[in-house]
Structure 1
């Protein structure tokens, strides 16, 4: 029964019926408080509606629990850290991204969102360095990957 209800709620969210999906997921999470997947989907539904503060406890339960797929766990770290950043909780966002990067060290999205939190925390050089490394490691460097990677660690170098 839970699987069918969860699938229905996810389908509703994907079809643009976010408020109805959120209501179903809140009820489902209330009935299954230890289910990490339900908590993750409830967090996502709140975030999608701009209800970041309400998403926080669901992200926390999702990441504390077991049973998330690797992709959903990565999504939970990314979503939770981003939500904390939007709420102005930059130190907590950075801590969340650090935890996520321990599990998913090469993930470009986690590193990019972490760079935004670094910027918001006033750590602008680290933010730019992080972004340059993400670009250098991507296929978007236009053949300049080695130069970009070098300057990521030597931003203030003068000729």
Structure 2
């Protein structure tokens, strides 16, 4: 398979997914993945379609393959870390979810979605204080709600000191 025909096939599979033709996209991506097992972008897109279809356990090895290789854009690496962490969480693999999402947050500290999913995984491991603090930090930093914005400094402060008093 030439690089151009592979790119065309991958673009076609992504288009099928975006059009809601998930099973067709999955069939095409599985074929591409079998023919190009080291292609990180193909692995990422194959993981994504499995997640879309609710086949989380099948998505994991593709996410892992995508993240192990080079070739993902920064945006796709971020998406793969979020996808894998979220998928581990859905599968009840909470410690792996926390580890993966912490890697994502370390690499992309300003990403509110990674931090929110990390908070959910932390909650699942019993780290309720850290989970709540993380969510409060994200809320303080990203909310457009005028009442939250008015108290942003206080919320951010108490995110790190949940037992503090005024």
TM-score w.r.t. length of structure 2: 0.93
Partner-residue secondary structure (3-state), 1:102: helix
- Structure 1 residue 94 and structure 2 residue 98: aligned? yes
Which residues of 2 match residues 64-83 of structure 1 at below 5 A? 64-83=68-87
How large is the RMSD of aligned CA atoms in angstroms?
1.0
* Stretches (4+) displaced over 4 A: none
- Select the residue among 137, 141, 151 that pairs with 1:144: 151
Which residues of 2 match residues 28-107 of structure 1 at below 5 A? 28-107=32-111
Q: How far apart are 1:154 and its partner, in Å?
A: 1.7
Change (3 A) 1:142 1:102: closer
- In structure 2, runs of 5+ residues without a counterpart are none
Distance 2:133 2:125 in 1: 15
- Structure 1 residue 130 and structure 2 residue 134: aligned? yes
Distance 2:143 2:106 in 1: 23
CA shift digits 1:44-87 (9 cap, x unpaired): 00000000000000000000011111110000000000000000
Q: Is the 8 A contact 2:140 2:149 kept in 1?
A: no
- Structure 1 residue 116 and structure 2 residue 123: aligned? no
Q: How far apart are 1:122 and its partner, in Å?
A: 0.8
- Structure 1 residue 13 and structure 2 residue 20: aligned? no
Q: How far apart are 1:158 and its partner, in Å?
A: 4.0
- In structure 1, runs of 5+ residues without a counterpart are none
Distance 1:145 1:138 in 2: 10
Distance 1:149 1:103 in 2: 21
Partner-residue secondary structure (3-state), 1:142: helix
Distance 2:105 2:162 in 1: 23
Per mean C-alpha deviation after superposition, the further-off stretch among 132-141 and 80-89 is 132-141
